[in-house]
C-alpha cells in the first residue's frame, strides 16, 4: 500500500535528526509496549508482517504525530482487538478515554506463481505493482532497474504473511541501484542497496 509510512526518497520532511547518545527508551511505558508486542509475536498471536501492516494502517495524522513506541502500541492494541484477545471497550476502560486503533486492513496476495531465480550480476527490474495491502517494496524503487549483488535466506512472502494468506518462503535479493536512476537530476552520486523479495523482480532487458 502507498501509505504515509513509506517516506523513503520523499522530499519536504527536512533532515533526519540523529544523536549517537540517544536513549532507546524515554519512559517506562515504552519498555512495556516493546516487551508486550515481542511477547505476542513469540506466543504466535500475530506475526511481524501483521505487526508492520497494523502500523501502516494508522490514520495518517495519527501516524505522523505519534512517537515510535506509540505506533508500536497502536499496532499491538489493534491486533489484540482484531484477534479477539481484548475488546476495544476493555482498552478504553483501562485508558479512561478514547484508545485510537489502526484503520481496517485490505486483502493480501500470494507469491507470484512464475517467479525467477537470479544470481549475482544479473540486471533486474522491480515490478510496477500497486497493491492495497501490505508490501515490503519501497515506492521509490517501483519500476526501477538495478543489479543483483547478493541473496539473503528465504522468508515468508510478506504480502501474504501479513494477511493470513498462504505465504511460501522466498529469498530477498540485495539489489544495487544508481541514485541517478532513482531520482534523476535530484540526488548526489551514490549506490543505493535494497533487499527486494523475489516476487517483486523480473529480469531486465539486456543493455543496448
pLDDT digits 0-9 by tens, 88-103? 999 999 999 999 999 9
Of the pLDDT bands very low, low, confident and very high (cuts 50, 70, 90), residue 208 is: low
Domains of the chain: 1-102 (1.10.472.20), 123-203 (2.30.30.50)
Contacts of 158 (CB under 8 A, 6+ apart): 49, 52, 134, 135, 136, 167, 197
Contacts of 112 (CB under 8 A, 6+ apart): 198, 199
Residues 111-140: tens digit of each pLDDT: 999 999 999 999 999 999 999 999 999 999
Of the pLDDT bands very low, low, confident and very high (cuts 50, 70, 90), residue 32 is: very high
State the chain's mean pLDDT as an integer. 94
DSSP labels, 125-167: EE-----SS-----GGGTT-EEEEEEEEEEEE-HHHHTTT---
**Residues 83-112 as b or e (16 or more Cβ within 10 Å = b):** eeeeeeeebeeeeeeebebbeebeebbebb
Amino acid at each position: 500500500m502507498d501509505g504515509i509510512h513509506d517516506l523513503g526518497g520523499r522530499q519536504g520532511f527536512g533532515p533526519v535528526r540523529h544523536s549517537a547518545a540517544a536513549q532507546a527508551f524515554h519512559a517506562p511505558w515504552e519498555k512495556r509496549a516493546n516487551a508486550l508486542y515481542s511477547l505476542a509475536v513469540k506466543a504466535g498471536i500475530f506475526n511481524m508482517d501483521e505487526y508492520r501492516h497494523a502500523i501502516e494502517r494508522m490514520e495518517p495524522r495519527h501516524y505522523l504525530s505519534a512517537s515510535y513506541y506509540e505506533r508500536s502500541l497502536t499496532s499491538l492494541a489493534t491486533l489484540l482487538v482484531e484477534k479477539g484477545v481484548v475488546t476495544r471497550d476493555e482498552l478504553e476502560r483501562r485508558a479512561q478515554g478514547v484508545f485510537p486503533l489502526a484503520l481496517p486492513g485490505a486483502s493480501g496476495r500470494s507469491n507470484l506463481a512464475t517467479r525467477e531465480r537470479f544470481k549475482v550480476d544479473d540486471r533486474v527490474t522491480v515490478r510496477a505493482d500497486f497493491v492495497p495491502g501490505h508490501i515490503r517494496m519501497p515506492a521509490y524503487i517501483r519500476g526501477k532497474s538495478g543489479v543483483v549483488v547478493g541473496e539473503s535466506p528465504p522468508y515468508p512472502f510478506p504480502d501474504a504473511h501479513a494477511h493470513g494468506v498462504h505465504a511460501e518462503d522466498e529469498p530477498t535479493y540485495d539489489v544495487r541501484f544508481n541514485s541517478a536512476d532513482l531520482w534523476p537530476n535530484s540526488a548526489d552520486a551514490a549506490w543505493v542497496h535494497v533487499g527486494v523479495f523475489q516476487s517483486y523482480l523480473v529480469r531486465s532487458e539486456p543493455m543496448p
